[in-house]
Structure 1
Amino acid sequence: MARHNYVSVLALVRKEPKFKDTVDGRAGIVGLTTIMSGREYDKATSGYQLNSVSFCARTQEKEILDVMDTLQLWDVVKMTGFLATREKDKKAECPFCNAVNRRVDACVRNGKPKSGGNEIFVYPITLRVEEKFETEQAAYEYLHANEEDANRVFVLGNLTNSPIHGELQGGRKPYTRFQLAINRKYCPKGGNEMYERTDYPWVYSYGDKSIEDYQNLEKGALVFVDGALQARKFKEQYTCGVCGEEYDVRGRTLEVLSYDTEYLRLPNLAPDDEEDDDENEDSE
């Protein structure tokens, strides 16, 4: 599979798989957890779950469903696939009057209504059981012993909008985030996935690299990202359309953490500008 949208993970089974029959055939979903290798395991002080990344894998492929059907809690699997996104009409119940509000109607940020929401997951191309364990901790220890191969992502796409810059930890940790449009070269079976050939994951970069990304990238730029999956919890505010009360809704999302972002094409860079940049590189 071409590495325009490529995910390779070692992950433990945190929720047993579920299956259902659809108009397009049998579908399966399994909850998995992998890790990030940003910190040394033996120096961790907050337990063996440090830097864990939980996500779902979905499939309608018979070969993958056959393997998925055998999975048990704490099995460690090796999986390759791609990031897939699809629109989802997110809703949340008001705790004051119990009315159900749609995100697209109730959630406003910076004066603009937010979208109905997206679901992001990994669609497996290959799946096999690496090891079987009796406990969660034993499975985590195996992941940490193989952390260099546990979580890799390569994506190639165009920015859908200008990058967004922010700061964490009281300004000590700058970050930049941007959304990519990635043309899907592999179209899975079933449902609308045969027609939805573009996926829209978010990418985050941190530190000095994030400042460079923010200064150089813009809408339409073509980039190649070498990174990893990261999971993030978030909270957003809804305003009930019935009683008018505001309430918080919590959620989780799956994103790409960029280790390196390669700028392949910047839309505002004309050929003459490229030559000038090469000539002036030593003088900057």
Structure 2
Amino acid sequence: MSRHNEIILYGKMHKDPLIRLTDDGDFVMARFSLDTIIGDRDMQSYVDKLRYQQPWILARDSEIIEKISDYHKNDMIYLKGVLTTQEIIKRPTCPNCQSPIPIDKANATYITPIFIKRMEQNVTDAQALELLKDSCEISNQAMIVGTLCRDPQSFTSKKGKTTTNYQLAVNRKYFIKDGDPMVKTDYPWVRSYDKIAKNDAEALSTNSEVLIDGFINSRIPTRKLTCEACGHSFDWNDLPVLEIIPYSVEYLKNCKSLEEIDKEKDELAENLVDQILKE
């Protein structure tokens, strides 16, 4: 399987980074998020319709963490990294009785920086917006090659908007310092929309290999939980979810061609006509 997993971000640091140290003062982890923007490539002017995204970054490399420890809210940061997944156990607690709520294991998704640099310091929101507009193409960029782990799931809303979701297996191209050397594959999710979603649903299946040019979407899903101990129900904010939204999807291997899709549609139509005539 081909290997490519590259994330480019340029954005304003949303808050001061969270830095964790050992008792001896050694750097262990840095976590922060960046305010990035994406444009609409279908529009004549790329920056006429801007949307903000706030991907979060987690670093475990001590040299990179040392750099990040000097960064602050409102600094403009440029980084190159990889989209990383990690299996974790979620441990929410009931706000009523403080009892733990059992939750299945899940994959946390974050960006691991392999290069990072502060470009500007302590900018205003207005200055940040102008800088981001000028660098819109690279503010939030994802280039991923992966193989589908399962068949895609497609949904069409009442308004006719189609969404297709699928999970990729992405072989690691870079060695991640202080990471588990036995882990060599990440499993991010892709969410495509409209025409791309319809094409994905028809062309892709388990073991299809794709090249995605897109951006990182960040969202915080809310789940309804019920405490088994006291019966209290409450809304719980899940971990932030990072998913890839494609601008385009190139079908590399084990994908149906347009000719095959058209042939299947013709055969389906013929079978439907035959069934109607038999009735």
Q: Confirm or deny that 1:184 pairs with 2:186.
A: no
Question: Which of 228, 249, 259 is the equivalent residue of 2:247?
Answer: 259
2:61 is matched with 61
Partners of 1:18 and 1:28 within 8 A in 2: yes
2:149 is matched with 160
Structure 1 stretch 5-14 or stretch 85-94: which is displaced more?
85-94
The 1:41/1:221 distance shift into structure 2, 3 A limit, reads: closer
Q: Confirm or deny that 1:79 pairs with 2:79.
A: yes
Which residue identity is paired with 2:16?
A: E
Alignment of 1:122-271 (within 5 A): 122-168=111-157, 170-192=158-180, 194-251=181-238, 252-266=240-254
Task: Report the Cα offset of residue 208 of structure 1.
Answer: 1.3
Q: Deviations over 1:145-165 (max 9, x none)?
A: 321221110111111111111
The 1:26/1:93 distance shift into structure 2, 3 A limit, reads: closer
SS where residue 182 of structure 1 aligns?
strand
TM-score normalized by structure 2?
Answer: 0.81
TM-score normalized by structure 1?
Answer: 0.79
Structure 1 stretch 67-76 or stretch 235-244: which is displaced more?
235-244
Task: Report the Cα offset of residue 235 of structure 1.
Answer: 2.1
1:108 is matched with none
The 1:167/1:91 distance shift into structure 2, 3 A limit, reads: farther
Task: Report the Cα offset of residue 203 of structure 1.
Answer: 0.6
Q: Deviations over 1:254-275 (max 9, x none)?
A: 11101111111127x7xxxx8x
Which residue identity is paired with 2:133?
A: H
Q: Deviations over 1:53-85 (max 9, x none)?
A: 112222233442232122121111111110011
Which residue identity is paired with 2:142?
A: V
Q: Distance in 2 between matches of 1:85 and 1:64?
A: 19
Q: Confirm or deny that 1:34 pairs with 2:36.
A: yes
Q: Distance in 1 between matches of 2:63 and 2:11?
A: 19
Q: Confirm or deny that 1:89 pairs with 2:77.
A: no
Report how many aligned residue pairs link the two structures: 256
Partners of 1:7 and 1:154 within 8 A in 2: yes
Partners of 1:28 and 1:60 within 8 A in 2: yes
Gaps of 5+ in 1: 45-49, 105-115
The 1:254/1:94 distance shift into structure 2, 3 A limit, reads: same
Larger radius of gyration: 2
Which residue identity is paired with 1:157?
A: G
2:6 is matched with 6
Partners of 1:133 and 1:139 within 8 A in 2: no
Gaps of 5+ in 2: 268-279
Which residue identity is paired with 1:91?
A: R
Partners of 2:27 and 2:66 within 8 A in 1: no
Partners of 1:180 and 1:200 within 8 A in 2: yes
Task: Report the Cα offset of residue 213 of structure 1.
Answer: 0.4
Which residue identity is paired with 2:31?
A: I
Structure 1 stretch 132-141 or stretch 247-256: which is displaced more?
132-141
1:121 is matched with 110
